[in-house]
Amino acid sequence: MPSVLVPLANGFEDLEAVTIIDLLRRAGISVVTAGLQPGLVLGSRGTRVQPDATLDEALGQDYDLVALPGGLPGADHLRDDPRIRALLRKMAAAGKHTAAICAAPMALAAAGVLDGKRATAYPGVLDGLHLPHTDKRGDAVVVDGKVVTGRGPGTAMDFALTLIEVLVGRAKRDQVEAGLVR
């Protein structure tokens, strides 16, 4: 069974984080949520989440994919955390998947993961960054090799379903999506 790490920082986008965690678990994927600091993590809309572990504890395991929810200032905290940048570089170097939605692709950019890739993000997030080798798109979800990016809260379900497809195949994605009755 594939394993996914979802780091959570104060100010995460509630809809994105919960959708990623929920849908991946519906697909039978092992999901570990990890707070940058110990204790409850507060979403940008007031949702309080008790992570499974601290980031330091979670970094003792290997993962097939790291998925970063957006939201502000959560994405800023992810981008600025040296442990997250190191993890993203390690994942990319090992040929493993990295994923980010909304404002969180800025963390992928800070780690150098978007260099030479196509990517999407919340409108304007990538525009202010110096990314001459990144093809910035307006698509809901972009998959480029082992990098998956999503546009924003309204695309969270499509983003999470794409992560399922990337990790365990189209049939499992279709099964999970059918159960959602969308």
Query: 138: domain CATH number?
Result: 3.40.50.880
Task: Give Cα separations from 9 to 17, 74, 79, 144, 182 (angstroms).
Answer: 10, 5, 10, 26, 30
- Of 4, 6, 59, 102, which one is the catalytic site residue? 102
Give residue 109's domain range: 3-180
Q: Model-level pTM?
A: 0.97
Annotation says 102 is catalytic: yes
Residue with tokens 């365990």: 168
Per-residue pLDDT of the chain (182 residues; tens, 9 = 90+): 999 999 999 999 999 999 999 999 999 999 999 999 999 999 999 999 999 999 999 999 999 999 999 999 999 999 999 999 999 999 999 999 999 999 999 999 999 999 999 999 999 999 988 899 999 999 999 999 999 999 999 999 999 999 999 999 999 999 999 999 99
Residue 89 near residue 29 (C-beta atoms within 8 A): no
**Interatomic CA distance for residues 101 and 150, integer angstroms:** 4
* Count of domains observed in the chain: 1
